[in-house]
C-alpha cells in the first residue's frame, strides 16, 4: 500500500503543479496590456495541451524512457534498466507515446508529474516574448520545447544522464543535484526566454530613438497578485511532490523551506524597491516572491530553515537588480520579468545547493553514499558539480534555443507585423478581444 | 488505516470537485456580458448551498440511501443492504438529512463527494440559460435538480439501480458503466440545459427577423481561460477520486488519461477552428479542452493512454461542430456552449466505454466478473449497455426537465421581462452591478 | 508510516489554508474601489511573507515552542515537555527561528500549518481597514500580529496555555475548546479589525454631516464571488487538517459539517436580504457563506450534520444583522464586513461548541477523559469554559490591539492623508494603478 500512497502523493503534487498554469496565466496577463490579453492568456492555455501531447509522443521517452525506475512508486517494468540507450547518457529512447507502459502505474504517474514540470518550463518564455510573438511560431516552439529541448537537459540531470553521474564517475559530490528543478525547469525556461527575447527583439516603441524607455505597465495588477499567490500554492506540489514519496518525512522540511524562502524573497524585494523608489512596488514584490520560490526549488530538501530564509533574501535582491539591468543596460525587453525570475534565480538556486546543503539529507542521491554537503558544510566538489550543470545549461540550452528561434525567423517569422502590435494582437492575430463592449 | 486513507482520498477529491465551482463561475461569467455578470456569478455561487441543502434533505437518500456500501471506505452501517427500497431499482429511501448516519464516516465522506458531483451537474444549465433566467425560477430549479432529477438517474447507475444491474440481470457487459459521470453528471446536466434553453427560448435580439444572428461575445475572455484551467485542475479530483480508494494504483492511469484527453480536445478544437476561420479561437479551445474532459470522465479507468488521446481528439471535433449546429441550424441559444460540452461530449464519453475499454480493469464492477471490455476489445454487449443508459437518460432526464421548466413557466415564469434583459439582469433583477463606477 | 502520512495530511491542509490568501485577496479587493485595488491586493499579498517571517522568528516560539508534542506526527524531540516556560501558561519560549528543530519534521509541519492559520487571522483586518490604511503602519501591524498578539492568545488555547487547562484544573468541561479556530483565528482577527476600525475611523466621506451614509459598492463583485468560493475550498484544509491525522475517520464528519454550515449560512443570508430588500444580495450571500464557515470552525468535529446546518443558518442571520448594525447604528466603517463575518460569527462558533457538542468525539481533548458535550447534551460547564475563552479574547486581544493602533497613531500615523484617500491609495501611496490605460 505504501507504493500506492506514494503514487497518490505524486499525483496530488502533479495536480498542484498543473494548477500553476493558472498562476502563470494570471501573472503574465496582469503584467501585459489589455489589447494583448487574449494572446497572453491563450499562450498560457495552449502550451498545456501542446506540451502534453509533444511530451507524450516523444519528450517523455527522451527524458525518462527506459532509464530510471522509481522504487518508491513500485515500478513494475521488468528490466527497465536494460533499455538504457544513448552511450554517453545523452538521451533515453523508450516508452514513446506510453505504448509500452500503458499498464504501469508508476510510469503513468511519472508521466503526469514530469509533464507538468515540462509545461512550467515551457510556459516561461510566453511571458518574456509576450505582446509580439506570432501564434503559429509559438505553437512550433511549444512542440520543440516539449519534445526535444526540455527533455534532453532533463535527461542529463533526472533521467540518469551524464550530469547526474558526475558524482559516481568523476567524484564531484553527488553529481549535479537539482531537487525540484532550479536548473532543469527554471534556468532552462529562463535561458530559452532570453534567447527568444534576443532574436525577436524588443516590443515596438519600447526603446525610443532618444534613448528613453517606454513604460508599459500591465493592465491588471490584481491578476498578477492573484497569480503570484496561486503559484506559491502550486509550488508546494512542485517541491514537496518531488520526494516521490509521502512516506518521506522530509516533505515537512521541504514545504517549510519553500514557504520561508518565498517570504524572504517577497519581503526583500518590497523593501529594496521601497528604499530605491520611495514606494512599495507590489509588482516587484510578486517577482521577488517568485524569485525566492525558484531559488529554493533546487535545494529545498537539503538546507536548514534559516538558510532558506537567506536564500530567499538573496533572490529578493537578485530579482529586481536583474530586471532593471536587463531592461536598462542590456536593453532586453521582458514584459513580465521571466528571465530574471526564472533564469537568474534558477542559477542562484543551483549554486545554493553547492553552498548551503548541510549534510542532513540525500544519502544515495545519484548513487553516491552519504548526505549532500555544500561548500559551507565541507564539500567543495558539490559546488563544482553544480557549476558544471549550470555551464552545461548555458552551453547547450541557450545556443539550442537561440538556433531554434533563428531558424523559425528564417522559415516562418517569429513576430507579428508592427501594425498588429500597435493595434493589439487580440483583434488581428487572435480574432477576439479580451473585454469587448457589450 | 487503509480505510481512513481512502476516506481522505475521497475527501480531497471532493474538495477539488467543489473547487470546480470557481471554474464554472469564471468560464460562464467570462462568456456572458458585463451587464449580467452578477447574475451569472450569483447563480454559480448560489447553486452550491442550494444544491447541498436539497441533496442533504432528500437527494442523497434517493440516490445512495441505504442501498450501497463502500468497502474501500469501511462502511460501518450494519445491515445497510437491508434497507433497499424501490422494487425495480428506481430509487433509494434512507439516510434522509443524514440523521441515521450522523456518526458513519463513510456515509459522510460519500455525501460530500456525491454532493459536489451533483452540484457540477446542477451548475451546467446556469450557463445555457444565462442572461435571461429569473432568479426565483433558478432557485426552484436548484432544489428540483438536487432533490429529485439528478438523484433518480444517479441511483440507476451508481446507487444500485436498474442500469447498473443490466450486466448481472440481462447479461449486457458490466451493466451501464460510467466511471466518473459522463452520463450521470454531464449528460444529465447537458440535457437539462437543453430542455431549459428550449422552454425559455433565445435571448432577446439573438435571432433577428432577417435571419441573421447577433454575435454576443463574452465580456472577459481571461476569466474563461482561467476558469477552464481551474476546471482541468479540479477534474483530477473528479476522475481520480472516483476510485474511492487511494490504494488503487489505477489512479495513475485515470489521471494521465484525464490530462491526455483534455489535451487532445483542446488542440483539436484549436486547429479545427483555425482551419475553418483563419484564427486560433481561444474560447473554442477552452470548450474543446472541457469537451475532452467530459468525454474521458466515463471511461478514464478503462482505456489506454493512446485511446484517451483519440477520445479527446474526437471530443475536440464534436464540441465546435455541436456549438455551431445548435446556434445556427437548431437556433438554440446557449451563451456558453454548455449543451455541447456536457451533453454531446457526455454521450460520446459513455459510448467510448463501450468502444475502447480494453479489458485491463473493472473486474467485479456492478457485480460482474472479469474486466470491462468494449466493442474493439471483444464485447459488443457492453456497448449495448452503454446505449441503454444513454437512452434512459434521453427518455427520462430530458422529458422530466422539459416538464419541469414547462410547469414553472405556467406557475411562476422562467424569464425576466425583455426590458430587464436589455438593461441587464444585474441592476434590475439582482440589485447590484458587477463593476460600478467609483 | 502512519506518522509520515499524517505529516502529509497536515501539509496538504496547510497548502489549502495558504491558498485562502487568494480568496481573501479577491473578496476584499472585489468589495473595495478600483482606485484602491493595488493597495488592497498588496496588503493581502504582503501579509503572507511578513507574517511568515515574524512567526518564524518569534511567534511560533511564543505560541507552540517547547510546550506541545504531536503524537500523530511522531514528534521526535526528546524532552520537549521539559522546555515548558511561562509559569502560568501565558507563553512558550523555545524553537525561536526554528533553529533547535531544524531537523524535526513534526515541528516543521506544524510551523507551516500554524503559520497559515496565523496569516488568516492577520489578513482579516486588511479588509476592515481597507481604503485608508498607511502601508508602513500596516507593515508594522503585520509584525505585531504575527510575533505577539496572535501567538499569545493562540498559546492559551492551542499551546498548552491556561484556557486549555480550564478542564483539568478547574473542572470546566474540556477547557476552552476551539477545534480549528473560531476564537483563536477568527475572533482574534475580527476584534483586531474592530479595534483598528475604531482608532482609524471611517473612510473620508462615508458618514456625511447630514447623517446620511455614502454607499461605496466594491468595484468587482465577480472577484468577491470567486474569492468566497476559493475560501470555501481552502476551508476544508483549515478544518479537516486540524485533526493533524489522516487516520482519524472524523475528517469525514468535519468536512461534511463544513460544507453544510456554509450552505446554511449562504442560503439564509440570501433569503434574509431578499426578504428585507426585495433583491437577492449576492455580496451578502458571500458573507453569509463565510459566516457559516467561521461559525462551524470551532465545533466542526463535535456536532452532528443537522446541527451544522442550524449553526450555519444562525450565522446567516448574524452576519447581515451585524453588518447593518455596525454600519448604521455604531457607525463603524468596515468596507468588507470582516468584523461581522470573523468577529461576530467567531463568537457564535465558540458558543456552538458549548451548546451543540453531542458527546461523540473528543475524548482526551486537553487531557480530559470522555467526549466533549455541550449544554444541549448535558454539560453546562463546557459552555462556561467557552464563555471564559471568549471573555479572555475580548479582554486581552481587543485592548491589546486597540493599544497598538493607538500607539502607532501617536508615533507614525495609521492613516493616509485625506487627499490621498480621495485620489486613491494606488497612485499616491503605492505608486501603481491597478488598471492603467494602455
Distance of CA C17 to the CA centre of its chain: 11
The x, y and z cell numbers of residue A22, run together, are: 493558472
Give CA–CA dist C382/C374, Å, rounded: 6
Considering just the CA atoms, what is the radius of gyration of chain B in Å?
21
Q: How far is B437 from chain C (nearest CA, A)?
A: 7
CA B56 – CA B73 distance, rounded (Å): 20
DSSP 8-state symbol, B358: B
Could you give phi then psi for residue A129, rounded to 5 degrees? -100, 15
d(CA C218, CA C202): 16
Does A291 score more than 70 pLDDT? Answer: yes
Cβ-based neighbours of C324, under 8 Å, separated by 6 or more: none
Q: Is C93 on the interface with B (CB under 8 A)?
A: no
Among B8, B41, B53, the residue with its CB nearest the CB of C9 is B8
Kindly give the residue spans of alpha helices, DSSP state H, lying in B247-357. 250-277, 282-297, 305-324, 338, 345-356
How far apart are the CA of B213 and the nearest CA of chain A, in angstroms? 15
Write down the pLDDT at residue C82: 38
| Nearest chain C residue to A305, by CA | C102
Model pLDDT for residues B363-387, shown as the tens digit of each residue: 999 999 999 999 999 999 999 999 9
Neighbours of A410 (CB within 10 A): 8
Can you tell me the mean pLDDT for B90-110? 92
- What proportion of chain C, given as a percentage, has pLDDT over 70? 96
Taking an 8 Å cut-off on Cβ atoms, the answer to whether B259 and A22 are in contact is no
Q: Does residue C146 surpass a pLDDT of 90?
A: yes
Q: Is B111 on the interface with C (CB under 8 A)?
A: yes
pLDDT > 80? residue C86? no
Contact B282 A430 (CB under 8 A): yes
Contact C45 A289 (CB under 8 A): yes
pLDDT of residue C92: 87
Mean of the per-residue pLDDT values for chain B? 94
- Alpha-carbon gap, residue C123 to C120, rounded angstroms: 5
Instruction: Please give the Cα distance from C389 to C394 (Å, whole number).
Output: 9
In degrees, rounded to 5, the angle at the alpha carbon of residue B125 between the alpha carbons of residues B123 and B130 is 105
- Is C30 near chain A, with CB under 8 Å? no
**Interface list for B 183-202 with A (CB within 8 A):** none
How many whole angstroms separate alpha carbon B154 and alpha carbon B162? 11
- Cell numbers placing C11: 501539509
The CA distances from residue B144 to B58, B117, B122, B159, B271, in Å, are 10, 15, 10, 19, 40
Alpha-carbon distance of C50 to C319, in angstroms, equals 30
List, for residues C58-73, the tens digit of each pLDDT value. 999 999 986 556 888 8
Could A106 and B240 be called an inter-chain contact, meaning their C-beta atoms sit closer than 8 Å? no
Q: Among candidates A52, A20, A357, which has minimal Cα distance to A178?
A: A357
Look up cell 493592465; give the residue.
A219
Q: Do B219 and A433 touch (CB under 8 A)?
A: no
- Start-to-end CA span in chain C (Å): 55
Nine-digit cell at C284? 451578502
A256 close to C (CB below 8 A): yes
3-state DSSP assignment of residue C133: strand
Burial of C9 (0-12, 13-18, 19+ CB in 10 A): buried
Q: Which residues of B touch C264 (CB under 8 A)?
A: 49, 53
Nearest residue of chain B to residue C248 (CA atoms)? B4
Per-residue pLDDT tens digits for B199-236? 999 999 999 999 999 999 999 999 999 999 999 999 99
| A37, pLDDT greater than 50 | yes
Q: What is the pLDDT of residue B73?
A: 87
Q: Which of B245, B282, B302, B309 to mutate to test the interface with A (most CBs of A within 10 A)?
A: B282
Those of residues 353-382 in C touching chain B at CB distance below 8 A are 360
Q: Which residues contact A283 (CB under 8 A, 6 or more apart)?
A: A31, A218, A221, A224, C432
The predicted pLDDT at position A68 comes to 55
pLDDT confidence of residue A77: 52
**Residue C416 is placed in which grid cell?**
493616509
Please check whether residue C338 is in contact with residue C32, taking contact to mean a CB–CB distance below 8 angstroms.
Answer: no
CB C332 within 8 A of CB C351: no
Whole-number pLDDT of residue A87: 46
Q: How far, in Å, CA of A301 to CA of C105, rounded?
A: 12
Query: pLDDT-based confidence at A81, cuts 50/70/90?
Result: very low
Given this model, what pLDDT does residue B353 score? 98
With H, G, I as helix, E, B as strand and everything else as coil, classify residue C3: helix
DSSP A135-159: HHHHHHHHHHIIIIIHHHHHHHHHS
- B288-343, pLDDT tens digit by residue? 999 999 999 999 999 999 999 999 999 999 999 999 999 999 999 999 999 999 99
What is the predicted pLDDT for the residue at C217?
Answer: 95
Q: Which of B35, B217, B280 sits opposite A436 (nearest CB)?
A: B217
| Cα C195 from chain centre | 15
| Cβ atoms B110, B70 nearer than 8 A | yes
Grid cell at residue B132: 435571461
For domain B2-430, give the CATH number.
1.10.3430.10
Q: Which residues of A touch C3 (CB under 8 A)?
A: 249
Note the Cα C359 to chain centre separation in Å.
26
Residues C282-340 have pLDDT tens digits of 999 999 999 999 999 999 999 999 999 999 999 999 999 999 999 999 999 999 999 99
pTM: 0.97
Q: How far apart are CA C157 and CA C91, in angstroms?
A: 11
Statement: residue A71 has pLDDT above 90? no
| CA-to-CA separations, B204 to A326, B412, B418, B420, in angstroms, rounded | 53, 19, 7, 10
Segment A115-122 shows an average pLDDT of 98
Instruction: Give the span between the Cα atoms of A287 and A368, in whole angstroms.
Output: 36
| Residue B367 · residue B162 · CB < 8 Å | no
- Our CA-based measurement puts residue A5 at a distance from the nearest CA of chain C, in whole angstroms, of 9
Residue B82 pLDDT greater than 80, yes or no:
no
Task: Choose among B5, B22, B48: nearest Cβ to C263.
Answer: B48
When mean pLDDT is compared across A195-199, B241-245, B434-438, C99-103, the lowest value belongs to B434-438
Contact in structure between C86 and C59 (CB atoms under 8 Å): no
d(Cα B42, Cα B135) in Å, to the nearest integer?
Answer: 9
Cβ-based contacts of C273 with chain B (< 8 Å): none
Test the B interface: residue of A15, A53, A59, A61 with most B CBs within 10 Å: A15
Scanning C299-318 for CB atoms below 8 A from B yields 304-306, 309
Rounded to whole angstroms, how far apart are CA atoms B36 and B432? 10
| B417's grid cell | 421581462
Q: C426: which DSSP letter?
A: I
Contact C233 B14 (CB under 8 A): no
**Above 50 in pLDDT, residue A79?**
no
Chain A residues in contact with C77 (beta carbon < 8 A): none
The string of pLDDT tens digits covering residues A46-64 is 999 999 999 999 999 999 9
Report yes or no: A49 and B264 within 8 Å, Cβ to Cβ: yes
**C229, three cell numbers:** 468560493
pLDDT above 70 (res B267): yes
Structure confidence at residue C77 as a pLDDT band (50, 70, 90): low
User: In whole angstroms, what is the distance from residue B430 CA to residue B427 CA?
Assistant: 6
| Rounded Cα–Cα distance for residues A127 and C231 (Å) | 29
Q: Closest to B217 (Cβ–Cβ): which among A3, A98, A432?
A: A432
- Does the distance separating the beta carbons of C49 and A264 come in below 8 Å? yes
Question: What local confidence, expressed as pLDDT, does residue B63 receive?
Answer: 95
* Best to test chain C binding among A16, A216, A229 (most C CBs inside 10 Å): A229
Which parts of B171-249 fold into alpha helices (H)? 188-200, 221-240
pLDDT digits (tens, 9 = 90+) for C206-218: 999 999 999 999 9
Of A7, A102, A429, the CB nearest to B305: A102
Task: Determine the Cα–Cα distance for residues A286 and C41; give it in Å rounded to an integer.
Answer: 11
pLDDT of residue B81: 41
Does the pLDDT at position B403 exceed 60? yes
Count of residues in chain A: 438
A residues 206..235 contacting B (CB < 8 A): 223
Mean pLDDT throughout C419-431?
96
Which chain A residues are Cβ-neighbours of B7 within 8 angstroms? none
Cβ contact, residue pair B49, C266, below 8 Å:
yes
* Assigned C-alpha cell, B119: 452540484
Domains of chain B by residue range: 2-430
Q: Which residues of A touch B281 (CB under 8 A)?
A: 431-432
In this structure, what C-alpha cell is assigned to residue C27? 473578496
Cβ neighbours around C84 below 10 Å, total: 17
Q: Count Cβ atoms within 10 A of the Cβ of residue B317 and give its class: 0-12 exposed, 13-18 middle, 19 or more buried.
A: middle
CA neighbor of B347 nearest in space, from B310, B381, B383, B301: B383
Q: What are phi and psi of B306, to 5 degrees?
A: -65, -35
Under the banding of pLDDT at 50, 70 and 90, the label for residue C51 is very high
Residue B93 — very low, low, confident or very high, per pLDDT cuts 50/70/90? confident
pLDDT of residue C72: 86
The tens digit of pLDDT for each residue in B106-142 reads 999 999 999 999 999 999 999 999 999 999 999 999 9
Distance separating alpha carbons of residues A266 and A258, to the nearest angstrom: 12
The angle that helices B37-54 and B105-128 make with each other, rounded to 10 degrees, is 150
Helix intervals (H) in B298-340:
305-324, 338
pLDDT at B16 over 70: yes
Per-residue pLDDT, averaged over B232-247, amounts to: 96
DSSP alpha helix (H) spans, B201-244:
221-240
pLDDT band of residue B437 (cuts 50, 70, 90) is confident
For chain C, what is the mean pLDDT? 94
pLDDT of residue B166: 96
Does position A1 have pLDDT exceeding 90, yes or no? no
Packed helices C105-128 and C135-144: angle between N→C axes, nearest 10 degrees: 140
Amino acid at each position: 500500500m505504501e507504493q500506492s500512497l506514494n503514487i497518490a502523493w505524486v499525483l496530488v503534487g502533479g495536480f498542484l503543479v498543473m494548477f500553476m498554469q493558472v498562476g502563470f496565466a494570471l501573472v503574465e496577463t496582469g503584467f501585459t496590456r489589455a489589447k494583448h490579453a487574449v494572446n497572453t492568456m491563450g499562450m498560457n492555455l495552449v502550451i498545456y495541451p501542446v506540451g502534453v501531447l509533444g511530451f507524450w509522443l516523444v519528450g517523455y521517452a527522451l527524458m525518462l524512457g527506459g532509464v530510471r525506475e522509481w522504487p518508491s512508486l513500485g515500478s513494475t517494468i521488468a528490466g527497465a534498466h536494460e533499455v538504457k540507450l544513448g552511450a554517453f547518457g545523452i538521451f533515453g529512447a523508450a516508452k514513446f507515446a506510453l505504448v509500452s507502459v500503458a499498464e504501469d502505474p508508476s510510469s503513468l504517474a511519472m508521466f503526469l508529474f514530469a509533464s507538468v514540470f515540462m509545461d512550467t518550463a515551457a510556459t516561461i518564455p510566453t511571458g518574456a516574448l509576450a505582446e509580439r510573438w506570432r501564434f503559429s511560431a509559438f505553437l512550433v516552439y511549444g512542440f520543440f520545447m516539449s519534445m526535444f529541448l526540455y527533455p534532453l537537459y532533463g535527461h542529463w540531470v533526472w533521467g540518469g544522464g551524464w550530469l547526474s553521474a558526475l558524482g559516481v564517475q568523476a567524484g564531484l559530490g553527488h553529481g549535479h543535484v537539482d531537487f525540484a528543478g532550479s536548473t532543469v525547469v527554471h534556468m532552462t525556461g529562463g535561458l530559452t526566454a532570453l534567447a527568444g527575447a534576443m532574436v525577436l527583439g524588443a516590443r515596438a516603441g519600447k526603446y525610443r530613438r532618444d534613448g528613453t524607455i517606454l513604460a508599459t505597465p500591465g493592465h491588471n495588477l490584481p491578476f498578477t497578485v492573484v497569480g503570484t499567490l496561486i503559484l506559491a500554492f502550486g509550488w508546494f506540489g512542485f517541491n514537496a511532490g518531488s520526494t516521490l514519496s509521502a512516506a518521506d518525512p522530509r516533505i515537512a522540511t521541504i514545504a517549510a523551506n519553500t514557504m520561508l524562502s518565498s517570504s524572504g524573497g517577497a519581503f526583500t524585494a518590497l523593501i529594496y524597491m521601497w528604499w530605491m523608489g520611495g514606494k512599495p512596488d507590489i509588482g516587484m514584490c510578486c517577482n521577488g516572491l517568485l524569485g525566492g520560490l525558484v531559488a529554493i526549488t533546487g535545494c529545498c530538501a537539503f538546507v536548514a530553515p534559516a538558510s532558506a530564509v537567506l536564500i530567499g533574501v538573496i533572490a529578493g535582491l537578485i530579482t529586481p537588480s536583474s530586471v532593471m539591468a536587463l531592461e536598462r543596460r542590456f536593453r532586453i525587453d521582458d514584459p513580465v520579468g521571466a528571465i530574471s525570475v526564472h533564469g537568474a534565480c534558477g542559477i542562484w538556486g543551483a549554486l545554493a545547493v553547492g553552498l548551503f546543503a548541510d549534510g542532513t539529507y540525500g544519502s544515495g542521491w545519484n548513487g553516491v553514499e552519504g548526505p549532500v554537503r555544500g561548500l559551507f558544510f565541507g564539500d567543495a566538489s558539490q559546488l563544482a558539480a553544480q557549476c558544471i550543470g549550470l555551464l552545461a545549461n548555458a552551453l547547450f540550452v541557450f545556443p539550442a534555443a537561440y538556433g531554434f528561434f533563428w531558424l523559425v525567423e528564417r522559415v516562418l517569422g517569429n513576430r507579428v507585423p508592427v501594425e498588429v502590435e500597435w493595434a493589439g494582437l487580440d483583434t488581428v492575430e487572435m480574432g477576439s478581444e479580451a473585454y469587448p463592449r457589450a
